[in-house]
Chain A
Amino acid sequence: MKPQSRYNIVIIGGGPAGLAAAVAAKKAGEESILIIEREAELGGILNQCIHNGFGLHTFGEELTGPEYAQKYIDMVENEGIEYVLSTTVINIDGNKTITAVSRENGLMQIDAKAIVLAMGCRERPRGSLRIPGFNPAGIFSAGTAQKLVNIDGYMPGRTVVILGSGDIGLIMARRMTLEGANVKLVAELMPFSGGLNRNIVQCLNDYNIPLKLSHTVVDIDGKERLRGITLAQVDENLRPIAGTEEYVECDTLLLSVGLIPENELSKQIGVELSGKTNGPLVNERLETNVGGVFACGNVLHVHDLVDYVSEEAEAAGRNAAEYAAGRAGDSRQNEIDIVPEGMVRYTVPVRIDLERADEKTVVRFRVADKIPGGVIHASVEKNGERKEILRRKKRILAPGEMEQILLKKEDILGAERIIISAGTSAGISAGTDEKAGATK
């Protein structure tokens, strides 16, 4: 397809976030929408996530990644939303002019009234970990290995060590095992895994793959192809403990050590990023500091479940449609800050306009540490006084889980600042169970 030179909404990325944003924008009445996708198919990374466990919240059934993606692809097709594939956006300027290239259409410039950033994230590579040693073939990020195995049909190696117990690493431990590899162990720097319990049980325990907590890789051996790694235990400061080194022979090292939102294009537009999430700082409309530029999905902050990506993206899509239709003001004057405190690392959004906000606003966040029996608080500040508006006890708060709360407009009207905090339940009387407003 050859795109036109002007759309009301251009969505950068045709993964789960971009697709849901497009459908929601269309349903909100916007007709002029274009999705730009760099891969040859819509669906993004879901296409290689062939395991199940997606969609329980959204569709009430457990789907595989491709099945979940197809539901949204079907909606995009049924709504007649335009998209271009194998097209890479190389620049977006402050006037929202998008420059993209493809084999089919060459270099094109497309003007947008509103832009939805939905570029997703990338995996943290070895280089940023400063693991000393050689730089041989056989070291892959878990997602790269996932593509090689599930899409291309090739095995990266036969004996595998996985560093990092993020969900992709755990999923790949099982996947490589089922395809005949010997997965020797999963090493996790932290004293706990960032992955879901379900994945620890069904991907590691089912196949007797040991999970070595508080362990890391301290050396890489093999000049041409990986021959082995040295594993070591780490102390409470995450530093390797001398004398605990153990050599493990392997021809493959998979890294599942974190995801980084891909915001290179956002920076070009002048979008302000959060030092915590590496994603844009957005208001309650999921709009960045650049008017009419919205963000959603893993480019905004890394999510735990795709269902929440879809939900967030739908909001971004609706808001983009409002903006493109001229129904949303550009004013930022009435926005107040939403501030994380205590164990809360960040919040999305970071700003809210109390007049403009819907009756309920979703605030998503993550905590910095595992807190059994944790409590989430939301408070408002006015004239230097703080008043709690929401308190929720949780069986556990964990960094691997995204949390969300709903702020009610009636509770926050007149506030000068909103504070979201979390901590242990110490000092909080038992029985103060979940207050109204909780969604999880």
Chain B
Amino acid sequence: MMFDAVIIGAGVTGSAIARELARYEAKICVLEKNADVCEGTSKANSALIHAGFDAEPGTMKAKMNAKGNAMMDKISAELDVPFERIGALVCCFDESGIPALEELLEKGRKNGIPDLEIVDAKKAKELEPALQDNIVAALWAQTSGITCPFELTIGFAENAAMNGVEFRLNTTVSGIEKTDGGYRIETSGGAVGAKAVINAAGIYADEIHNMVCGDKIKITPRKGEYNLLDRAAKGLVRHTVFLLPTKLGKGVLVTPTIFGNPLVGPTSVDIDDKEQNRTSTDGLNEVREKSSTSVKNVPLGMTITSFAGLRAHMDITDGSDDFILGETAEGFFDAAGIESPGLSSSPAIGEYIAEMVAKKLDLKRNEGFNPNRKRVKHLLWLGMEERKRLIEENPAYGAIVCRCEEVSEGEILDAIHRPLGATTLDGVKRRTRATTGRCQAGFCSPRIMEILARELNLPLTQIKKNGGASVEVIEKTRKGAQI
């Protein structure tokens, strides 16, 4: 099978590139080793669209973040992805930090970030009453926003799929060879050919890069651990609250998620093993200890889940640690080292890489491209009249499956039967929010498993949490015991 372009990795970066490439007439394929899109770094992060003031001026990180942030209004409208510019406060609790705060403001101006200002303690408290009383000053970045990283990634991917991009899930790349006019990619599902290869493999982008390029790179997984609190703690903070880094290190941020659950984290620890996306005693303790530095009364007792994400940190000897974006070998394009602000940059990276590939392959515009996609309706967020009407149209919207987040069978069916539909419990979770509430799947997971089994025509023993060996039940009862 020969494609014009093959993208390796269906995280937010690969999916954004796929969607942007779908604007051209080309045969495009995305290879993803997991059972669903959004299974790596994209699913476990701070869910922020950063304003873009803290990247070094002139770097790709600075450019992509500023542009990505600016693109989010349009993207969120087109892809029906929740996005809110709630603003961020970088908080300074010590007079000696003021110069650093001013430096940050200056950096932000150089990066072209609008609506940035330093506010005094009084104004900061007015904006964010939950701040600790010893606040001295804060950098207020009004364009900073929050989104749902699941929805953004899935939105890009679904829209790409709707526009003809082929997604091959459960497909691991094992080797890449240069051929005449392109590459031959060995995968767990057979070989595919491509005129252009795009590396968006997240924490594994070094392995993919090194299969092709002479100048080797190394990506170090940088672990971040978080606590997610019950939605009942909604309103703890109104803004994303950062702590100005000091000699004593970096604090943790406290932010609302787009669904109202406060999120506290992350830690930042470099590790060796790319499969170790696991929480640790030290990490969770650190989150606990640091959570109250900037914000009063963080109710950590309302934690409903903890998680760890791995950022793809690029080790570069010259001291810079920028994204690698561009054609690093003939017909081979890197989108590598995409750590923070990767989510914020994804719309811009998608456009940047896609334009480069299109130019290289001399692709024509796809006039039939449809930029719009509708997400799974979430009835909880709709008004009663709208909800009533929808249930009348489709009674399955009236059958509540996940009681904590009020997700109906209709929403789950939609998640399963749409383009790139959910095939796993986590897939349903990311598309509907079912299981993300305070009971953490206790009541609804057996029911969702049943629906998945019925709709996908699979035995219950093949319904998985997130692919691989992650089955939920292993066999029928009735085997009996030797007692």
Contacts and interface: CB of A to CB of B under 8 A. Distances in A.
Given A127-B303, A133-B279, A90 B406 contact: yes
B284 A101 contact: no
A140 B440 CA distance: 10
Which of A90, A104, A267 has the most chain B CB atoms inside 10 A of its CB? A90
B395 A122 contact: no
B473 A127 contact: no
B307 interface: yes
Interface in A123-175: 123, 125-128, 130, 132-138, 140-141, 143-144, 147-149, 151-158
Interface in B469-483: 469-481, 483
B480 A180 contact: yes
B439 A123 contact: yes
Among A88, A135, A220, residue most surrounded by chain B Cβ atoms (within 10 Å): A135
Contacts of A178: 481, 483
A125 B441 CA distance: 8
Interface in A223-256: 223-225, 251
A154 B406 contact: no
A177 interface: yes
A207 B445 CA distance: 29
A355 B8 CA distance: 76
Contacts of B403: 38, 88
Contact of B440 (A127, A177, A179): A127
B304 A157 contact: no
Interface in B451-477: 460-461, 464-477
Kindly state the interface size class of chain A when it binds its partner: 35 or more
A132 B303 contact: no
A154 B481 contact: no
Interface in A88-140: 88, 90, 99, 101-107, 122-123, 125-128, 130, 132-138, 140
A336 interface: no
A155 B440 CA distance: 20
B464 A137 contact: yes
B446 A147 contact: yes
Contacts of B446: 144, 147-148, 151-152
B395 A137 contact: no
A340 to B, nearest CB: 21
A230 to B, nearest CB: 11
Given A88-B403, A154-B474, 20 more contacts: A99-B384, A101-B391, A101-B400, A103-B399, A104-B395, A106-B395, A107-B387, A107-B388, A122-B443, A135-B278, A136-B470, A137-B465, A137-B470, A140-B442, A144-B442, A155-B475, A156-B472, A180-B479, A223-B468, A224-B465
Interface of A: 38, 86, 88, 90, 99, 101-107, 122-123, 125-128, 130, 132-138, 140-141, 143-144, 147-149, 151-158, 177-181, 207, 218, 220, 223-225, 251, 264, 267
The 10 closest A-B pairs by CB, nearest first: A127-B305, A125-B440, A88-B400, A137-B465, A154-B473, A224-B468, A137-B470, A107-B388, A224-B470, A224-B469
19 contacts: A90-B400, A101-B397, A101-B400, A101-B408, A103-B398, A103-B399, A106-B392, A126-B440, A127-B228, A133-B278, A134-B277, A134-B278, A137-B464, A155-B476, A177-B481, A177-B483, A178-B481, A179-B478, A179-B479
